Homo-oligomer: A and B are copies of this chain.
Amino acid sequence: MLEMETELTALKTRLIEISDLNNAAAVLGWDQATYMPSGGAEARGRQMATLAKLAQEKFIDLAVGKLLDDLQPYEESLPYDSDDASLIRVTRRDYERAIKIPPEFVGRFSAHSSESYQAWTEARPANDFARLRPLLEKTLDLSREMANFFPGYEHIADPLIDFADYGMKAASVRALFAELREKTVPIVQAITAQAPADDSCLKRNYPEAGQFAFSELTIKRLGYDYTRGRMDKTHHPFTTGFSIGDVRITTRVQENWLGDCLFSAIHEAGHAMYEQGVDKAYEGTPLAGGASAGVHESQSRLWENVVGRSRGFWEYFYPELQKTFPEQLEDVSLETFHRAVNKVERSLIRTDADEVTYNLHVMLRFDFELEMLEGKLAVKDLPEAWHEHFQADFGLRAPDDRDGVLQDVHWFAGLIGGVFQGYTLGNVLGAQFYAAALEAHPEIPDDMRQGKFDTLHRWLIENIYRHGRKYTAEELVQRVTGGPISIAPYIQYLHSKYGELYKI
């Protein structure tokens, strides 16, 4: 076994170097999105591409494959969920995927993403789809090229979905989404048939500094560790990590819309608390990270919505918010405010959407991804297709592309395919996990009412966060809930919460 330990150490040494390159690229990406002057864009794209290509070259080195082969008997001698067996297993899964992707492609794709992201930051405010069209066409080509490194798929989106949500396919996501749509649409209809909640209190003037400070205070109390993270402003909020000791988030502020900064911050803090909670022993290895896009999103959505839009949360935080914005909120009752942050309506922007209609936004994007990859929808037709489908699903038409197809950064900074399903899987999984947490700790709602969030946080660390990528999403759901993924807890949550707020 001594030989095995030497080989495992050799593997870890290689993995840490690769993680250093990937994390360095992540720092460059964070900098590009936060503080980089525009003049830095050209070289930055190349620098990130160089790092991505080198990391890929180092990972697909035959020596890594050889070490994984050599370590197989050792892995088989260990319990499935031991750290060492899990490291070998998860690394092998990543390796077998990675060796199919040429480093040259990784570099090319990284450079293109960086260029495209930079263009989006300027073209979205300018409502300029035409500028982004050739870039998006190239993204679609690259996405197809990526999928085709994995021949034998049922649907061309399958390999891309599998990257993000291992084990899922276009067909399984479609089935789940169809079920969810069937249960959701009647709730949306029942609610929107009633008089809308009054959310005018959120649309007063809220100066940026106060919004940012209140958001910081809130996420710190929820458990986001500021000695191992920080929050900055970006066009599109995101979470990025450079180590378990440095997991950063970003938010954005609209001075006439109180909902954006705070709920973006809580959302991203949910992602970040997940990564901050990973076992420190996994640092620099493929086990550091989240189980899947869906599980990751379950944590952002859980903290943002199940916690951050709950009555108990606001019983605790509302007096503090009133202190921050006395003039704006002195005449607004807790009840009015709580109804406002839970207003259900057919609206234009996914990230601002309420919990009930949110998944319809995701489904629209998911369908577009499949159609584009299938070749049934051309990029040039996307803006109009967006408006039409949106009209059909929401009875609304965005005034421009800025709040239509340009609203989300994802397609302009990464692949087309596998990008959006995770958000809805997250809503579903978040409700499942929260139900399990409540079963173990029925006192959680009372604790939150008193500003005590660590009962929930500690349960999540213990049952989900610390495991990092040790378990697949499916394994994790099974361990935590005792069953497979199911939409039932989520639908029950919506009925229970919105049954109180509206008559449904």
Residue numbers of A with Cβ under 8 A of B are 16-17, 20-21, 23-25, 27-28, 30-31, 35-44, 46-47, 50-51, 54, 225-230, 232, 242-246, 248, 283-284
Contacts and interface: CB of A to CB of B under 8 A. Distances in A.
A228 B40 CA distance: 6
A54 B55 CA distance: 11
A43 B228 contact: no
15 contacts: A20-B47, A21-B50, A21-B51, A23-B43, A24-B28, A37-B226, A37-B229, A39-B229, A40-B242, A41-B245, A43-B244, A44-B242, A44-B243, A44-B246, A47-B242
Nearest to A243: B43
A46 B16 CA distance: 9
A300 to B, nearest CB: 20
Closest 4 CB pairs of A and B: A40-B246, A43-B243, A39-B228, A39-B245
Majority secondary structure, A binding face: helix
B284 A43 contact: yes
Contact of A27 (B21, B31, B225): B31
Given A37-B229, A47-B242, 10 more contacts: A20-B50, A24-B27, A24-B47, A37-B230, A37-B245, A39-B227, A39-B245, A43-B244, A44-B246, A46-B284
B283 A43 contact: yes
A39 B243 CA distance: 9
Nearest to A25: B24
Contacts of A42: 243, 245
A44 B284 CA distance: 11
Contacts of A246: 36-37, 39-40, 43-44
Oligomer copy total: 2
A226 B37 CA distance: 7
Given A20-B51, A24-B51, A43 B227 contact: no
A344 B17 CA distance: 51
Contacts of A17: 50
A41 B243 CA distance: 9
Give the residue among A25, A31, A47, A51 with the most B Cβ atoms within 10 A: A47
A25 B244 CA distance: 19
Nearest to A38: B227
A17 B51 CA distance: 9
Contacts of A244: 43
A246 B17 CA distance: 27
Contact of A47 (B23, B31, B229): B23
A346 to B, nearest CB: 39
A61 to B, nearest CB: 14
Contacts of A245: 37, 39-43
Contacts of A229: 37, 39
Contacts of A232: 35
A246 B43 CA distance: 9
B46 A20 contact: yes
A374 to B, nearest CB: 37
Nearest to A42: B245
A34 to B, nearest CB: 8
Nearest to A35: B230
A28 B47 CA distance: 13
Contact of A243 (B40, B54, B284): B40
A283 to B, nearest CB: 7
A291 B40 CA distance: 22
Given A31-B27, A44-B242, A246-B44, A225 B39 contact: yes
A269 to B, nearest CB: 14
Contacts of A225: 39
User: Which of A24, A41, A50 is the most central at the interface, judged by chain B CB atoms within 10 Å of its CB?
Assistant: A24
A288 to B, nearest CB: 10
Contacts of A283: 43
